[in-house]
Structure 1
């Protein structure tokens, strides 16, 4: 019995060896027993090898911002009536001052305009007078006002103002420029009211109180109008406009 069991044990032992070799063959992946491919999983996780990094570049967003000049540009209006901020012209500063001149102009991007026949147009011609912006008449530009200078003064005071050409006026050079102007503002005082108070109640200083000149008003009040002499002088000075409001503004 023991002699018969001995071959059976050999066959079982051989089958186990063959099963072990077949598993190694499958794990090797190329038909050869390679220990590098059968490294433990823990070691592979610990040393995953070089990795690649990918950077995602976002697509540039399409610009939907409206140009600032579009707020001044009417849609489908006459090209020749567009404000200067809406067009670009080939100007020539060597033109003769005060003479008519013609310039070729083109509307800026996103601006739509038409000609006299209501047809879309981009290139057109404008007619203007050859002169710089600071040489325009006062009705063609707007200037900042000052409420700190004295309008009632001798000599009359001036101030530097920042002036801007009106939209539909075309000229050469910068459309914003400084200019020296006479003080011209009012605090709401009426010349007729001041003169009437000076004639009727001038002896009590009512005219000076009305104009905001409190010290002079008190002086006239307690001196009874300078015994009438100061009253007559104030009537003349207010009548010719020499005496005005204490804040230095003009009469209305």
Structure 2
């Protein structure tokens, strides 16, 4: 009986059917023979479940391993692949050595191809939120108005790029100016204002339907409205109705 290999699903079905068959009183098996079989099925089902859970736990890979190169130089590891001792007594903007350790599962070497666990990284003394804008990416907003006075700002969250090292949290809040575009071209708007502005084509293109209808039925305000719009679009005062910037 111990040499049998019963799949987990079949084992569970057999255990359920056998119990119902015996409890109904129609089964011909005696309790002397049925109990050992039922006990075996229970043990087999439990052992299969434990083995499956153990295997799933053993094969789980940490999330940071996706960013960590295999068998590379320790000095080039991304920040998520190492743990460094942080000290805040350094001079801002100066290169400072930091003692770092590779995280579990990360294998790295020095220039002589010798395995290292503890190594030194030279890092510029600055907090992550003090980095230049090219060293981090932020969640952009397409709901604020870029054409407004004063210019609008919005709160967002920024994350430092993988290869950039800095002090403090690598994810930080920041307030940015509205700076997004809906795909409208300034040259197209100006050309429509000069050529077909009397029919409101420039306003229709920018999504300003009410103003476009007003210019259409007034023949561009008898030409006066057309000239004013040409000037305002050329200096960038009139923009898209969604509040975005020109391309």
Short-chain TM bin: 0.7 to 0.9
Give the Cα separation in 2 of the matches to 1:155 and 1:79: 48
Give the Cα separation in 1 of the matches to 2:243 and 2:145: 4
Tell me the residue number matched to 1:31. Answer: none
Q: Is 1:110 aligned with 2:105? A: yes
Structure with larger Rg? 1
Tell me the residue number matched to 2:94. Answer: 99
Q: For each residue in 1:148-197, what CA deviation from the matched residue of structure 2 results, as whole angstroms up to 9, or x when unmatched?
A: 11111122111111100000111011000010001111111100000000
Give the Cα separation in 1 of the matches to 2:75 and 2:230: 56
1:196-207 equivalence runs, <5 A: 196-207=191-202
Q: Is 1:74 aligned with 2:74? A: no
How many matched pairs? 200
Give the Cα separation in 2 of the matches to 1:139 and 1:87: 23
Q: Is 1:146 aligned with 2:160? A: no
1:180-199 equivalence runs, <5 A: 180-199=175-194
Give the Cα separation in 2 of the matches to 1:116 and 1:165: 27
TM-score w.r.t. structure 1 length?
Answer: 0.75
Give the Cα separation in 1 of the matches to 2:72 and 2:99: 18
Partner of 2:211, secondary structure, is: helix
RMSD: 2.0
Unaligned 5+ segments in structure 1 are 1-55
Unaligned 5+ segments in structure 2 are 1-42
Give the deviation of 1:105 after TM superposition.
0.5
- Choose which of 223, 233, 236 in structure 1 pairs with 2:218: 223
